[in-house]
Amino acid sequence: MVGNRESTTMPAANPRRIRVLVVDDSAVVRQVFAHELARDTSIEIVGTAPDPYVARDKIVELKPDVVTLDIEMPRMDGITFLRKLMRHYPLPVVIVSSLTPQGGDLAMEALEAGAVDVMCKPGAAYSVGDMSVELIDKIKAAAHVKVTGEGAKSPRAATSAAPLALTRTTNKVLAVGASTGGTEALVQLLSQMPHNAPGMVVVQHMPEFFTRSFAERLNGISAMEVSEAVDGDRVIPGRALIARGNYHMLLRRSGATYVVQVKSGPLVSRHRPSVDVLFKSVARYAGSNAIGVIMTGMGSDGAQGLQEMRKNGARTIAQDEASCVVFGMPKVAIELGAAERVVPLDQIARTVLSFASTT
């Protein structure tokens, strides 16, 4: 598991704007990004670069807080540049690329190389307006992440954790939501879940075409069967379903069986998929038969949904501040009183299984 980002909390409001460098070989893309990002008063575009060589010089000269980086560029590809950057001049990088089904593996590789987050360029899946909202949020989240360079380990990170034991199979539903920093947090959580763990439904904020590669990665490290969710999939013990990028995932009940509904729709809590959408459906259809977990991430998506879950009798958990990459979503949930327990990342699996075994 890659751990090149130290955990950090969100600092108090600071009037200083976030300095951003846009790196993309397309002059049109550079112009659109610079225009859209500059509309947010908390962001300052300090420069743009058409390739990694120009970007290297501008990073040294301009000292940006965050870099947006394309993957496919001339002279040097974005992932090679990212690895060099993490080794010699580590700073938060958000990958913004035209991700295709084949590009999902590249996105996974970019995260493992040190990128804070990944998103799609405007296209069939995104309008420019949707892209702007999401990119601004990702840049703000990235600005709060302390990047320490390739090979550094996050506090509490577990490189390999043996799955924990669950004494009996349960038909409970485990709903999990995460955003910035969540890809590595989910690796740790899933690596500790036993083969008969409660059926799991997961929303991790990520682009379309990335979620399948991410699910395949999780499937390789977990005793559970992990896959990208398909409409109508059953939620059963030992199976984890990852919400497809750019689609909401909801829990539904068909007789005595839980299934997922995968559907399009507007952004909710500024996201698609939205943790709130998932959690609220779990609150409605599973009630006290559910366990909810909210993990590292910027913003507030999932906090209200977790609150509804708890009001409907579910057991609820929030990741603690010290182990979060960005203490945003869990913080809001805790402030709302939505979290029954607040625990470090390396104790979430154990707490979940304790709830599943005793209730």
CATH of the domain at 252: 3.40.50.180
Q: Does residue 161 belong to any structural domain of this protein?
A: no
Residues 133 and 269 occupy one common structural domain: no
Residues 177 and 140 occupy one common structural domain: no
User: Is 50 exceeded by the pLDDT of residue 157?
Assistant: no
Confidence class for position 254, pLDDT limits 50, 70, 90:
confident
Residues 198 and 66 occupy one common structural domain: no
Q: Does residue 156 belong to any structural domain of this protein?
A: no
pLDDT in tens, 300-353: 999 999 999 999 999 999 999 999 999 999 999 999 999 999 999 999 999 999
Distance CA 258, CA 187 (A): 24
pLDDT in tens, 183-236: 999 999 999 999 999 999 999 999 888 899 999 999 999 999 999 999 999 999
Q: Does residue 294 belong to any structural domain of this protein?
A: yes
Share of the chain above pLDDT 70, in %: 86
Least Cα distance to 79 among 53, 110, 54 occurs for 110
User: Is 70 exceeded by the pLDDT of residue 2?
Assistant: no
User: 63: which 2 tokens?
Assistant: 């000292």
Indicate the helix (H) or strand (E) that contains 23. strand 18-23
Residues 326 and 181 occupy one common structural domain: yes
Residues 142 and 234 occupy one common structural domain: no
Distance CA 80, CA 309 (A): 43
Written as one letter, the residue type at 142 is: A
Q: Is 41 exposed, middle or buried (0-12, 13-18, 19+ CB in 10 A)?
A: exposed
Catalytic residue among 24, 65, 205, 271: 205
pLDDT value at position 108? 84
pLDDT value at position 167? 53
Residues 142 and 270 occupy one common structural domain: no
Residues 142 and 192 occupy one common structural domain: no
Specify whether 179 is catalytic.
Answer: yes
Q: Does residue 159 belong to any structural domain of this protein?
A: no
Instruction: Compute the radius of gyration of the chain from its Cα atoms.
Output: 20
Q: What is the mean pLDDT of residues 246-268?
A: 94
pLDDT value at position 281? 98
Confidence class for position 13, pLDDT limits 50, 70, 90:
very low
Confidence class for position 102, pLDDT limits 50, 70, 90:
low
Residues 65 and 132 occupy one common structural domain: yes
Tell which of 91, 112, 147 closes a domain: 147
CATH of the domain at 136: 3.40.50.2300
79: CB partners within 8 A, 6+ apart: 71, 106, 109, 110, 113
User: Is 70 exceeded by the pLDDT of residue 293?
Assistant: yes
Domain coverage including residue 343: 173-358
What string of H, E and C letters represents the secondary structure of 203-257? Answer: EECCCCCCHHHHHHHHHHHCCCEEEECCCCCECCCCEEEECCCCCEEEEEEECCE
Q: What dihedral do alpha carbons 284, 285, 287, 289 form, nearest 10°?
A: -160
pLDDT value at position 297? 94
Number of domains composing the chain: 2
**Mean pLDDT for the chain?**
88
Residues 133 and 213 occupy one common structural domain: no
138: CB partners within 8 A, 6+ apart: 94, 116, 117, 119, 180, 298
Distance CA 347, CA 319 (A): 9
Q: Does residue 162 belong to any structural domain of this protein?
A: no
Least Cα distance to 202 among 288, 107, 274 occurs for 274
Least confident among 45-49, 154-158, 170-174: 154-158
Tell which of 89, 112, 147 closes a domain: 147
Q: Does residue 65 belong to any structural domain of this protein?
A: yes
> Is the CB of residue 67 less than 8 Å from the CB of residue 89?
no
**Residues written for the chain:** 359
DSSP letters spanning 298-312: SS-TTHHHHHHHHHT
User: Is 90 exceeded by the pLDDT of residue 165?
Assistant: no
Q: Considering only residues 146 and 205, tell me which one the structure prediction assigns the higher pLDDT.
A: 205
Catalytic residue among 117, 137, 276, 301: 301
Residues 91 and 206 occupy one common structural domain: no
pLDDT value at position 143? 93
Whether the bond between 273 and the residue before it is cis, its omega within 30 degrees of 0, is yes
Q: Does residue 157 belong to any structural domain of this protein?
A: no
pLDDT in tens, 45-85: 999 999 999 999 999 999 999 999 998 888 899 999 999 99
> Is the CB of residue 307 less than 8 Å from the CB of residue 337?
yes
User: 18: which 2 tokens?
Assistant: 């976030």
Continuous H helices in the chain: 27-37, 52-62, 78-88, 103-113, 128-143, 182-191, 211-221, 275-285, 303-311, 329-336, 345-358
3-state secondary structure of 112: helix
Residues 74 and 199 occupy one common structural domain: no
User: Is 70 exceeded by the pLDDT of residue 263?
Assistant: yes
Tell which of 129, 147, 165 closes a domain: 147
Q: Does residue 168 belong to any structural domain of this protein?
A: no
Share of the chain above pLDDT 90, in %: 70
Distance linking the first and last C-alpha atoms of the chain? 32
User: Is 80 exceeded by the pLDDT of residue 111?
Assistant: yes
- pTM: predicted TM-score of the whole model, two decimal places: 0.83
DSSP letters spanning 133-198: HHHHHHHHHHHT-EE--TT---TT--S--PPPP-SS----EEEEEE-TTHHHHHHHHHHT--TTPP
Catalytic residue among 132, 179, 274, 323: 179
User: Is 60 exceeded by the pLDDT of residue 125?
Assistant: no
Residues 49 and 85 occupy one common structural domain: yes
Specify whether 301 is catalytic.
Answer: yes
pLDDT value at position 103? 61
Distance CA 112, CA 90 (A): 14
